[in-house]
Amino acid sequence: MKKNICRAITALLPITIITAVYTITPSEIVLPENARYSAYPNGFVRLASAVDTRAVGETEVKAELFGAFPIKTVQVSVVPERYVSVSGEVIGVRIYSDGIMVTGIENTGAARLAGIKKGDVIEKINGITLDSTEQLASVISEDEVNTLTIRRGEERLEITVRGRNKEDGYSVGMWVRDSAAGIGTLTYIAPDGSYGALGHAICDSDTELAVPLSKGTLSPCRISSVKAGKSGEPGELVGAIGSEVTGSVLENSELGIYGKTAPLDENLFPIATRFLVKEGAAQLWCDVDGTGTKSYAITIDRVSGSSKPNNKSMTITVTDPELLAKTGGIVQGMSGSPIIQNGKLVGAVTHVFVNDPTRGYGIFIENMLAEVEKIK
């Protein structure tokens, strides 16, 4: 019996390996012009022939397991090399929501009885489009019965709520918010003034959901102190957001915030596609003490092979003694800090590991650039 099981496993093992390798081998590889490429989509697979990146174009190449067993045909695209200005500057961000966010519900209030939920977005009251929490509160306090137009995910609902009569007017027992503000790091500015920052969405502090964007602004931020991170307690940059507006926010997505600002004619770096990002030494650009952007040593520990855009494309470890002494590693406010490897911009920091602030996640820069194309 054991021999039969062993034979079955031995027979299935090659099929399992080939299937797994087929799945993780990309069907398309995008390389910038004149890129140096090792011809290894992963550690086991080699392209059957070298890719000529001296000219823009497309070609098909066989991918082979151990350089001997054909796995699949890979489409290789060589695209024009792009340059952007790398920043690393700490910025203040103010965004205003598209609708009024419900951030909390009383346990026995009228809102709960009517079926309103935390995370709902109120678009209208009695058919009137809402612009602010003050407008919503004013109407609710005056009228006992109101109809709310609510956005819940992809749904739109009409919910009638009957308020409770209090000394200063009617109340329905819910907490709402129409804006959010915070600090983060500007990753890059393209020649046309479009920028990418943070590498993740700005979320409401109570619902932990991305704030649905109506409009937003960038402003300078002056760092006053830093709270170093430690295991179980993420640190943070502490700063004051200035009143001057230096840019607009046009998108608040899971892959960062994007908009327009003044072009920057310095720190030009070529863009690396995800196929050029390798495990090994890299540099992190950030400002953690208000003295300006500096370069710090990090290591890229793992690179994701997933073709699905996400903000956890790589894991990194801070190794620079100076940065570790200042911050303990990655802290809140450093999200968006550019990652440079082999003279190219490869991505940006997005998250810190709560139990190990020396480590965190990064996003591929090509994922951020793809978001800008959606806006255009």
The answer to whether the CB of 119 falls within 8 A of the CB of 152 is yes
User: How far is C-alpha 118 from the geometric centre of its chain's CA atoms?
Assistant: 23
User: How far is C-alpha 309 from the geometric centre of its chain's CA atoms?
Assistant: 10
Look up 335 and say whether it is catalytic. yes
Strand 69-79 versus strand 28-32 pairing type:
parallel
Out of 98, 143, 289, 320, pick the active-site residue. 320
DSSP for 100-149, written as a single string: EEEEEE-TTSHHHHHT--TT-EEEEETTEEP--HHHHHHHHHH-SEEEEE
Which pair of structure tokens corresponds to residue 148? 């709310």
The answer to whether the CB of 288 falls within 8 A of the CB of 224 is no
What are the CA-CA distances from residue 142 to residues 105, 130, 145, 160, 172 (Å)?
Answer: 20, 16, 9, 15, 12
Nearest to 353 by CA among 234, 227, 203: 234
Out of 87, 253, 335, 337, pick the active-site residue. 335
Out of 200, 287, 313, 337, pick the active-site residue. 200
Give phi and psi for 322, each to the nearest 5.
Answer: -65, -45
CB half-sphere exposure, 204, CA atoms < 13 A:
24
Contacts of 173 (CB under 8 A, 6+ apart): 105, 106, 108, 109, 110, 111, 112, 164
Look up 351 and say whether it is catalytic. no
Which pair of structure tokens corresponds to residue 61? 């190449």
Which pair of structure tokens corresponds to residue 131? 């612009």
216-228 CB burial, b ≥16 within 10 A, e <16: bbbbbbebeebbb
Catalytic machinery residues? 200, 320, 335
